[in-house]
């Protein structure tokens, strides 16, 4: 049982909200980071604490057991967790910016009543769009959903699904009519343990190792008609709109990773001595630090701007793409500079920066590669 107050106590005050999460991350997550990374698994006790804190249902209204906060608060949480561990950060990010967000916007009253309380209190959620042949080309998916009258039969597989090992509920996208192309894509709510649905191979990854990334297998998996999310054939719209929001969350995760790497570097150069003085006294090192700090601040402003535009119901698609693009590049750059500043120590697992470096790379790949973000930005500028 966590000794920390639930986030409902702080949801009206951003700074208190941030402080509460940072205190939790330092006391409960940081001592577990190395072990979870080495074992490639999140600590189940920590996952329960995330629920107790209210971190798994930040935007969920309080009457469904959530924190009742904003999208911006969800991004602040993802950032603060990423500052300590990217794996925990992405678990909370997917839960809030993808799964819960999709249900809040597209779920029926019955679906919301059934699933939102569970997602806020005990169930991890996963978002299953990608397949081996449909990464950036997301709508080339081949998972088939056959209409059998009173149910659908799902056949095929999904790949690279975040949080799959821990998840109890999956938002799964399949095509009910390939003759209609992307307009046949439909979202389904699939519970763990449904006959014909199994969790497949767990990927062994470069970074965010404690976060599970797995294949999903469907073999004559029977899904009730009332498990359709939104309407039949609008799955492509759900996927696009949800991922646009999710990109801001990934930007926030990368911002947190960059912040963590920067802080580790700052502390190290102040304490490490070479040639009779601390590293911080060398002008070359100072200039590197200034570059890191400037890039970090620029990323923060971009991520916060996109999140606030989303909360204000303004068009945020271009800003989301720019925030993810810039923050993910910044995270890799700052983490790489951190390894350089640590020297030989930075190349060992005894110091934290090699993990920040490994964790940063995924930001340019998932929820839309950097090239896809560039394409989105350019299209919107030219439209």
CB 73 within 8 A of CB 67: yes
Q: How far apart are CA 30 and CA 32, in angstroms?
A: 5
Structure-token pair, residue 304: 């916060």
CB 2 within 8 A of CB 53: yes
Q: Which residue matches tokens 């343990």?
A: 193
First-to-last C-alpha distance (Å) of the chain: 52
Q: Which residue matches tokens 């912040």?
A: 259
Q: Which of 211, 245, 227 lies closest to 102, judged by CA? A: 245
| Chain centroid to CA 107 | 21
Q: Which residue matches tokens 């909360």?
A: 311
Q: Which residue matches tokens 């929820």?
A: 367
CA angle 375, 377, 383 (to 5 degrees): 95
Q: Which of 260, 165, 155, 163 lies closest to 197, judged by CA? A: 155
CB 160 within 8 A of CB 366: yes
Count Cβ atoms below 10 Å from residue 48 Cβ, excluding itself: 13
User: Which whole-number Å values give the CA distances from 62 to 4, 114, 121, 348, in the listed order?
Assistant: 18, 15, 11, 44
Q: How far apart are CA 136 and CA 145, in angstroms?
A: 22
Compute the chain's Rg from CA coordinates.
21
Of the listed 80, 273, 367, 381, which one is catalytic? 367
Q: How far apart are CA 42 and CA 347, in angstroms?
A: 24
Structure-token pair, residue 297: 């601040």
Residue 263 is among the residues annotated as catalytic for this protein: no
H helices of the chain, where? 14-24, 33-39, 44-53, 71-82, 86-93, 101-106, 109-121, 235-271, 283-311, 317-342, 353-360, 370-382
Task: Tell me which residues are annotated as active site.
Answer: 367
């Amino acid at each position: 049982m966590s000794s920390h107050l639930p986030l409902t106590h702080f949801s009206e005050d951003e700074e208190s909200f941030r402080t509460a999460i940072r205190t939790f991350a330092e006391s409960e997550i940081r001592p577990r980071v190395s072990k979870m990374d080495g074992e490639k698994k999140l600590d189940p006790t920590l996952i329960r604490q995330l629920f107790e804190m209210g971190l798994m249902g930040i935007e969920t209204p309080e009457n469904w057991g959530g924190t009742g906060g904003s999208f911006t608060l969800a991004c602040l949480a993802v950032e603060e967790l990423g500052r300590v561990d990217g794996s925990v950060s992405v678990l909370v990010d997917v839960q809030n910016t993808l799964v819960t967000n999709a249900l809040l916007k597209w779920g029926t009253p019955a679906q919301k009543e059934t699933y939102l309380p569970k997602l806020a209190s005990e169930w991890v959620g996963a978002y299953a769009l990608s397949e081996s042949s449909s990464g950036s080309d997301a709508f080339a998916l081949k998972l088939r959903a056959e209409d059998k009258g009173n149910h659908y039969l799902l056949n095929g597989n999904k790949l690279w699904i975040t949080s799959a090992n821990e998840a109890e509920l999956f938002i799964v996208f399949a095509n009910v009519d390939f003759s209609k192309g992307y307009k046949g894509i439909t979202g389904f709510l699939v519970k763990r343990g449904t006959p014909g649905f199994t969790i497949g191979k767990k990927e062994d990854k470069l970074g965010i190792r404690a976060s599970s990334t797995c294949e999903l297998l469907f073999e004559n998996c029977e899904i009730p008609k009332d498990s359709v999310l939104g309407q039949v054939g609008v799955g492509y719209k759900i996927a696009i709109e949800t991922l646009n929001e999710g990109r801001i969350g990934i930007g926030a995760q990368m911002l947190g990773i960059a912040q963590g790497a920067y802080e580790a570097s700052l502390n190290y150069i102040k304490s490490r001595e070479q040639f009779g003085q601390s590293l911080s006294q060398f002008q070359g090192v100072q200039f590197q630090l200034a570059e890191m700090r400037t890039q970090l601040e620029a990323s923060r402003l971009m991520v916060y701007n996109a999140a606030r535009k989303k909360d204000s119901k303004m068009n945020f698609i271009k800003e989301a793409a720019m925030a993810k693009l810039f923050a993910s590049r910044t995270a890799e750059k700052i983490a790489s500079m951190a390894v350089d500043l640590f020297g030989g120590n930075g190349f060992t697992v005894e110091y934290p920066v090699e993990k920040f470096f490994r964790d940063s790379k995924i930001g340019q790949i998932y929820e839309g590669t950097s090239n896809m973000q560039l394409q989105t930005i350019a299209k919107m500028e030219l439209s």
